[in-house]
């Protein structure tokens, strides 16, 4: 590698993000540090065949120096004819070997590596040496992440979207993936609930011959999501109830009718009437809690009222 060389910052092609690994855009903290103790570790740049330089590593350092108003910056300059694979390795190593990378940065690293190594196993071997995952299968998955829309990547960085969910969102059109990412961020729901939401919407879309996008734009759903009077937990509950009722209308109606019957029975707090799961079996369960014969006798009267209930008899005979 060449010696340190001062170059004009105006000659650096800041818009070229070919080798960018970092996801961190803010530089004020780094600028403050540089201002106080100077630039300890010069960025690595590469001379281009035309004129000027592209950044290989040190994107934030260069941005911070610009922020501080520097005109020149000390750098290590790579020749224009350097092997691209070397540049890729420098870019990844300079990040991955100095600090833990987040998932997007790992994805960018693997995507970058895959531009110079096409074989999955060879890529995994090199990745491992650079501090990246060594599993070819995992790398194939992770590689896709950095191509996802920004709100999904933001969700990953904010820990509201896991790798598994990001890969599921990648299967949808970009705008649907983004819509889900925004809902997940808003409702702060875990992976299982995220999956449930996606499955419900997907299956409703199939049943009703519409699209998830149309559903997400519907008034009823927007009203729940946009209602400022509801807190996050209430929104989560309402949206789940709404979608479940819409996905399973007959089942929901039956459950509602059963609840109504139970309410009409005005059951004592020591009694519970439980239907068979999904109303599939034949046996209903009646639970009585009592501590003595006199209490049981007291409940007997209430039990008689249940037996005589015409509404319940009608419901059970359906």
Note the residues at the interface with other proteins (CB under 8 A): 203, 206-207, 209, 248-251, 254, 277-282, 318
Nearer to other proteins by C-beta: 269 or 318? 318
Rounded alpha-carbon distances, angstroms, from residue 13 to 2, 16, 48: 20, 6, 10
Q: How far is the CB of 241 from other proteins (least distance, A)?
A: 16
Task: Round to whole Å and give the CA distance between 128 and 75.
Answer: 28
Nearer to other proteins by C-beta: 278 or 295? 278
Nearer to other proteins by C-beta: 106 or 216? 216
Residues, the chain = 318
What tokens does 122 get? Answer: 């060879």
Q: Which residue's entry shows tokens 């071997």?
A: 125
Name residue 272's beta-bridge partners.
287
Nearer to other proteins by C-beta: 22 or 255? 255
What tokens does 228 get? Answer: 């400022």
Q: How far is the CB of 206 from other proteins (least distance, A)?
A: 5
Q: How far is the CB of 163 from other proteins (least distance, A)?
A: 20
Q: How far is the CB of 173 from other proteins (least distance, A)?
A: 14
Of residues 190, 159, 209, the one with CA closest to residue 198: 190
- What are phi and psi for residue 116, nearest 5 degrees? -115, -15
Nearer to other proteins by C-beta: 254 or 309? 254
Which three-class secondary structure state does DSSP give residue 184? helix
Nearer to other proteins by C-beta: 219 or 318? 318
Q: How far is the CB of 6 from other proteins (least distance, A)?
A: 57
Nearer to other proteins by C-beta: 199 or 286? 199
Task: Round to whole Å and give the CA distance between 175 and 186.
Answer: 16
Task: Round to whole Å and give the CA distance between 183 and 223.
Answer: 13
DSSP string for residues in 189-236: --HHHHHHHHHHHHHHHHHTT--HHHHHTSHHHHHHHH-TTS-HHHHH
Q: How far is the CB of 149 from other proteins (least distance, A)?
A: 23
- What are phi and psi for residue 5, nearest 5 degrees? -140, 135
Q: How far is the CB of 309 from other proteins (least distance, A)?
A: 20
């Amino acid at each position: 590698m060449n010696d340190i060389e001062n170059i004009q910052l105006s000659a650096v092609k800041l818009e070229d993000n070919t080798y960018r690994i970092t996801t961190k855009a803010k530089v004020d903290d780094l600028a403050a540090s540089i201002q106080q103790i100077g630039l300890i570790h010069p960025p690595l740049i590469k001379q281009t065949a035309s004129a000027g330089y592209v950044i290989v590593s040190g994107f934030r350092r260069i941005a911070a120096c610009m922020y501080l108003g520097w005109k020149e910056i000390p750098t290590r300059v790579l020749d224009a004819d350097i092997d691209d694979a070397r540049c890729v390795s420098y870019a990844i190593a300079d990040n991955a070997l100095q600090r833990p990378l987040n998932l997007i940065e790992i994805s960018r690293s693997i995507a970058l590596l895959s531009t110079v190594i096409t074989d999955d196993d060879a890529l995994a071997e090199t990745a491992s040496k650079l501090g990246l995952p060594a599993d070819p299968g995992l790398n194939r998955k992770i590689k896709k992440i950095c191509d996802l829309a920004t709100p999904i990547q933001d969700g990953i960085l904010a820990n509201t979207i896991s790798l598994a969910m990001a890969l599921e969102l990648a299967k949808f059109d970009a705008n649907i993936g983004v819509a889900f990412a925004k809902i997940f961020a808003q409702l702060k729901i875990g992976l299982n609930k995220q999956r449930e939401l996606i499955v419900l919407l997907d299956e409703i879309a199939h049943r009703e011959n519409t699209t998830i996008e149309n559903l997400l734009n519907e008034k009823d759903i927007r009203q729940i999501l946009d209602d400022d009077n509801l807190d996050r937990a209430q929104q989560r509950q309402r949206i789940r109830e709404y979608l479940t009722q819409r996905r399973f209308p007959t089942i929901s109606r039956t459950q509602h009718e059963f609840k109504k019957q139970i309410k009409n029975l005005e059951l004592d707090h020591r009694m519970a009437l439980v239907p068979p799961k999904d109303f599939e079996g034949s046996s209903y369960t009646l639970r009585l809690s009592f501590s003595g014969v006199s209490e049981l006798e007291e409940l007997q009267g209430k039990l008689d009222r249940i037996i005589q209930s015409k509404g319940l008899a009608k419901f059970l005979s359906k």
